[in-house]
Chains A and B, each alone.
Chain A
Amino acid sequence: MQPSHDVLLLLVVLTNFWVLGTTRLSSMIRAAAMQGLLLAALPIALYPHASLHIVGLAIGTLLVKAIVLPHFLTRAIREAAVRREIEPLIGFTASLILGAAAVALAFAIAPRLELPGTPSGMLIPVALSTVIIGLLVLTTRNKALTQVVGYLILENGIYVFGLSQAERVPFLVEVGVLLDVFAGVFIMGIVVFHINREFDSLDSARLTELRD
């Protein structure tokens, strides 16, 4: 039978597809929250001999990625009154195909990266594919809020990568990363709010226009 952490990693990839395929912002945020929840369960599944470090990491992830950030983003879309991504640079169908290609690529190159002491063979490919898909969302979508979600997914990938070395990375560094993300999304939220007030739209392409 497959170990539970592999099932969690598999679901992480499925939430990535969900983020790529959905047009509604609220659904996208829900997917990101789901992914946060899965990522919070992941350290415990990977390292069953729970040290204080691992439990702390899980609780921190749960609070920041699964509760606070999605809540914050949901409030942001309510205030900005945006519902859906209308015209991404790459269409939804095409980005799903690209996402599947990214997963295939990640699984193809991951065995060549030999990292010492990774607890699961699926950790590195899932981390790589999550980073690529996050980057894809970040670069090809027009709405500032969608880009924030893309940034979150990208960071989730880095987090999964970090988990492969969780026993070695000091707790402080990871808390620092979580705090960075939190601050980053917080600042982006404020920026998004200001873009919306200034331009009556969240389309970041309009930031290139010059006017008084």
Chain B
Amino acid sequence: MTFTPVLGLLAVLLLAPALPGIANRVKSALTGRRGAPMLQLYADLGKSWRKGVVYSPTTTILFRLGPVVLVCTALLAAGLVPLDGTTSPIRFTGDLVAFAGLLALGRFMLVLAALDTGSSFEGMGASREVTFAVFAEPALFLCFTVFVVATGDLRLQDMLGQPLAHTWLATAPSLLLGAASLFIVSLAETNRVPIDDPLTHLELTMVHEVMVLDHSGPDLALILYASALKMALFGSLVVRVFVAGAMVSAPMALGLLLIGLVVYAMAVGVVESVMARLRMNHVPQLLVAASATAGFGLILLLR
């Protein structure tokens, strides 16, 4: 048993809040502004954590449960990802379903908490979030299927680890299609442009942000942290596909993964700068296109 999986997990848990900062910094630089400090989210988390909480008298236990479940599921899901390319801290056959399921559970609880407030804006945000998730999830599973078929393994640790490295040369086009599709899914899952704009302040156009309007203090800090962690997780999935092709030792792979995460955050920032967010009714189209891309990768494998 080596220490790199645990080290990787700790590194990702610690560094996750820097990723949205990097994305925003790239966005500012490309639009000619100085922008907020890269580590702004750490300060925001600290500030929210020290504050008190305000609960509306109309809310129930569901509202308090939402952020806690969200952060717990994200932490558990983080344990499933093979960050150093050899082993995941938690692993069992079929854990890819658990990964998607945990994130879905977190989202479900957050949606329930939003509906619990009884605010029509939050209900609207929740309905949009779920609408997009309906299209993002099949795309995610199609991407996973590409990697499962390529490696013949049902564990995240194997389908994104050593076996993937061995099959890289033979199946590169399918894996690249899968990775491209996974990147689009990651933008949808982490509520970035072109699916959702994390910086918008108009309730009518917000998706994820409007759902969490009523959360305050430590609850808000948990939600912010969980979103950053989710971004790091999806980023690691995308980056792992490429790092696996490099075939290096575990500590090296972990280092490459962390560098890759920074590149991923920068790529997200570039995407946010060069395109506007899509109209709501075009988002499903983009996600179906992502599914079609992954599906095409799958067809190439099954040929």
User: How many residues belonging to B are interface residues under a CB distance threshold of 8 Å?
Assistant: 19
> Closest Cβ of chain A: how far from B247's Cβ, in Å?
15
Q: Hey, which chain B residues are within 8 Å of A97, CB to CB?
A: 288, 292
Q: Hey, which chain B residues are within 8 Å of A17, CB to CB?
A: 289, 292-293, 296
| C-alpha spacing A96/B295, complex, angstroms | 11
For window 1-47 of A, CB contacts with B under 8 Å fall at: 1-2, 6-7, 10, 13-14, 17, 21, 23
Q: Is B169 interfacial (CB 8 A cutoff)? A: yes
Q: Determine if A2 and B172 form an interchain contact, defined as CB atoms under 8 angstroms apart.
A: yes
> Closest Cβ of chain A: how far from B152's Cβ, in Å?
20
For window 87-130 of A, CB contacts with B under 8 Å fall at: 92-93, 96-97, 99-100, 103-104, 107, 121-122, 125
Q: Is B303 interfacial (CB 8 A cutoff)? A: yes
Q: Determine if A100 and B295 form an interchain contact, defined as CB atoms under 8 angstroms apart.
A: yes
Q: Is the contact region of chain B dominated by helix, strand, or loop, or is it mixed?
A: helix
Q: Is B300 interfacial (CB 8 A cutoff)? A: yes
Q: Hey, which chain B residues are within 8 Å of A103, CB to CB?
A: 295-296, 299
Q: Determine if A104 and B173 form an interchain contact, defined as CB atoms under 8 angstroms apart.
A: no
> Closest Cβ of chain B: how far from A9's Cβ, in Å?
10
Of the candidates B169, B173, B289, B303, which one forms a contact with A96 in the assembled complex, judged by CB atoms under 8 Å apart? B289
Q: Is B282 interfacial (CB 8 A cutoff)? A: yes
| C-alpha spacing A125/B177, complex, angstroms | 18
| Contact status of A92 and B285, CB under 8 A, knowing A97-B292, A100-B292 | yes
Q: Determine if B293 and A104 form an interchain contact, defined as CB atoms under 8 angstroms apart.
A: no
Select the residue from A6, A93, A122 with max chain B CB neighbours within 10 A.
Answer: A93
| C-alpha spacing A92/B292, complex, angstroms | 13
Q: Is B145 interfacial (CB 8 A cutoff)? A: no
Q: Hey, which chain B residues are within 8 Å of A14, CB to CB?
A: 293, 296
Q: Which residue of B lies closest to A121 (CB)?
A: B303
| Contact status of A100 and B173, CB under 8 A, knowing A13-B296, A23-B282, A92-B285 | no
| Contact status of A104 and B295, CB under 8 A, knowing A21-B285, A23-B282, A93-B288 | yes
| Contact status of A1 and B285, CB under 8 A, knowing A10-B300, A17-B292, A17-B293 | no
Q: Which residue of A lies closest to B292 (CB)?
A: A100
> Closest Cβ of chain B: how far from A199's Cβ, in Å?
28
Q: Determine if B288 and A96 form an interchain contact, defined as CB atoms under 8 angstroms apart.
A: yes
For window 270-303 of B, CB contacts with A under 8 Å fall at: 282, 284-286, 288-289, 291-293, 295-296, 299-300, 302-303
| C-alpha spacing A100/B169, complex, angstroms | 25
Q: Hey, which chain B residues are within 8 Å of A121, CB to CB?
A: 303
| C-alpha spacing A103/B291, complex, angstroms | 13
| C-alpha spacing A107/B299, complex, angstroms | 7
Q: Which residue of A lies closest to B284 (CB)?
A: A93
Q: Which residue of A lies closest to B295 (CB)?
A: A100
Q: Hey, which chain A residues are within 8 Å of B285, CB to CB?
A: 21, 92-93, 96
| C-alpha spacing A103/B289, complex, angstroms | 13
Known: A13-B296, A92-B282. 18 other contacts (CB 8 A): A1-B169, A1-B172, A2-B172, A2-B173, A10-B173, A10-B296, A10-B300, A17-B292, A17-B293, A21-B286, A23-B282, A93-B284, A96-B289, A96-B292, A100-B292, A103-B299, A107-B302, A121-B303
In the complex, 21 of the A-B residue pairs with CB atoms within 8 angstroms, ordered by the A residue number, are A1-B172, A2-B172, A6-B173, A10-B173, A10-B177, A14-B293, A14-B296, A17-B292, A21-B286, A21-B289, A93-B288, A96-B288, A96-B289, A97-B288, A99-B292, A100-B295, A103-B299, A107-B299, A107-B303, A121-B303, A125-B303
Using a CB–CB cutoff of 8 Å, the interface residues on chain A facing chain B are 1-2, 6-7, 10, 13-14, 17, 21, 23, 92-93, 96-97, 99-100, 103-104, 107, 121-122, 125
* The 9 nearest A-B residue pairs measured at CB: A100-B292, A21-B289, A96-B288, A100-B295, A93-B288, A93-B285, A107-B299, A92-B285, A96-B292
